[in-house]
Chain A
Amino acid sequence: MNTKNLSKLKSRFVSREVDKELILVPLTGNIAKMNEMFTLNETAKLIWENMDKVENEEALTNLITNEFEVSHEIASADVSTFIKHLETML
């Protein structure tokens, strides 16, 4: 997914920090999805905060490997899982 699609995906959520944790709620016209929301762990928070600032998912993966002691393979899987999770919430 490129930066345009990542930004578009991010724009379809409302985020708000509560007690230092970030909550995401999808903007959706689908009644079956309207109770979906979740709080983010540290890795997910880093992806969320940067997904509209980088060129692609690979750049997000590199951000994670620079920030946390984690392999490229695991970081890439984390990015992919998070993006897919966001898509399924819409």
Chain B
Amino acid sequence: MNQNDSNYLISLNIADFIIQIKSDIEFTPEPGYELFLTNEKETTDFVVNCKADIPADIFAGQKPVFEAENEQQKFYDIYRYKAGLGFVIYNQQQKNTIQQIALLDKEFRNWTIYASDIAEFNPLRYPMGPIIMHYMTIKTNSVMMHASCAFDGQRARMFSGFSGVGKSTMSRIWAEAGSTIINDDRLIIRELENKFFVYNTPMYYKDIPKKAPLNAIYLIHHSPENKIQKLKGAIAATRTMAFCIQNNYDRSFVAERIGFFARLAAAVDIYDLGFVPNASVIEFVKAHE
């Protein structure tokens, strides 16, 4: 890192979105971003300007419109301000310590991120990176899902559900049968010219960017026997939407999401799948396609 460097510039290609990152200070993104770096210079979908030092009291006296926290810790707060949205991101190791302040314009195209800790300057440090990726999806006919996805060269099958339902187990079973795992935890679905595609995103570990046309979604749970039920219409849309990442404080976000999942449910087969965690589920799934 060299604090005298300016105009440090890198570009990422995530889900076929080009994100240009400009920084006052050179930094090394977390390892998961490495294989998503691109030399693409012609097009830019999103711009992230990174600056050192966090401005004090930028949202003092304001009430957040959204607070992402659990009983143990805060993740981030979201504020509305005149030019767009403001994010206060908390350090996940040091409780209640602000790690980044981020501003996002109303078009959701341009970010300014102020990051702390010059010694380890990393404006994309978790959870900032996934927040940027989530907000990439909101106005672009895309969603980010809690899901795994296996592509056997012909069909991409997504498996979704809350933590512990078997997403990683399902990935392992399909991988052992020769499928490529797009990712086993977090995915982006994009609607492009009335077709739906699934992409992986940078994780905490290195992986190459992957993309596949999405054929089917399975809402999974463990079961004493393999059993399947096809879902349609509003039920298919709402049950799948339950597993997307969403910040439901804005009416337009929610309306967009419902519309997206209604179109998804009309174009892609969606099933409720109870499964036994062994290879038998592969033939079972294929037999019901």
- 1/0 per residue A2-25: CB within 8 Å of B? 000000000000101011111101
Q: From the candidates B69, B234, B242, B249, name the one contacting A35 in the complex (CB within 8 A).
A: B242
Q: Collect the chain B residues with CB atoms within 8 Å of residue A29's CB.
A: 64-67, 249
Q: How far is the CB of B155 from chain A (nearest CB, A)?
A: 25
Q: Mark B260-275, 1 if CB is under 8 A from A, else 0.
A: 0010010000000000
Contacts of B235 in A (CB 8 A): 21, 39
Residue of B nearest to A14 (CB): B254
Check: B180 CB closer than 8 A to any chain A CB: no
Query: When the two chains form their complex, are residues B234 and A39 in contact, meaning their CB atoms are under 8 A apart?
Result: yes
Partner of A19, one of B68, B232, B251, B258: B232
Which residues 29-72 of A have a CB within 8 angstroms of B?
A: 29-35, 37-39
**What CA separation (Å) do A20 and B250 show in the bound complex?**
24
**B residues in contact with A74, CB < 8 Å:** none
Query: Which residues of B35-93 have CB atoms within 8 Å of chain A's CB atoms?
Result: 64-70, 75
Decide yes or no whether B178 CB sits under 8 A from chain A. Answer: no
CB atoms of A27 and B238 under 8 A apart: no
Q: How far is A16 from B238 in the complex, measured between Cα atoms in Å?
A: 11
- Contacts of A25 on B, CB cut-off 8 Å? 241, 248, 254, 257-258
| Distance of A26 Cα from B246 Cα, bound (Å) | 12
Does A81 touch B at the CB level, under 8 Å?
Answer: no
A38 to B233, CA, bound (A): 13
- B residues less than 8 Å from A31 (CB atoms): 66-70, 75
A28 with B248: CB separation less than 8 A: yes
Query: Nearest residue in B to A13 (C-beta to C-beta)?
Result: B254
The answer to whether the Cβ of B182 comes within 8 Å of any Cβ in the partner chain is: no
Chain A residues whose CB sits within 8 angstroms of the CB of B254 once the complex forms? 14, 25, 27
Q: Which residues of B contact A38 (CB under 8 A)?
A: 238
Closest to B76 in A: A31
By the criterion CB–CB under 8 Å, are A27 and B251 in contact? Answer: yes
Compute how far the CA of A77 lies from the CA of B226 in the bound complex, rounded to whole angstroms. Answer: 38
A76 to chain B, nearest CB (A): 27
Contact of B241 among A22, A30, A32, A37 (CB under 8 A): A37
Chain B contacts for A37, CB-based, 8 A: 238, 241-242
A23 to B65, CA, bound (A): 23
Residues from chain A with Cβ under 8 Å of B232 in the complex: 19
Contacting pair B247 A34 (CB below 8 A): yes
From B234, B249, B259, A28 is in contact (CB under 8 Å) with B249
**Residue B287 lies at the interface, judged by CB distance under 8 Å to chain A:** no
Q: B251 touching A16 by the CB < 8 A rule? A: no
List residues of B whose CB falls within 8 A of some A CB.
64-70, 75, 232-235, 237-238, 241-243, 246-251, 254-255, 257-259, 262, 265
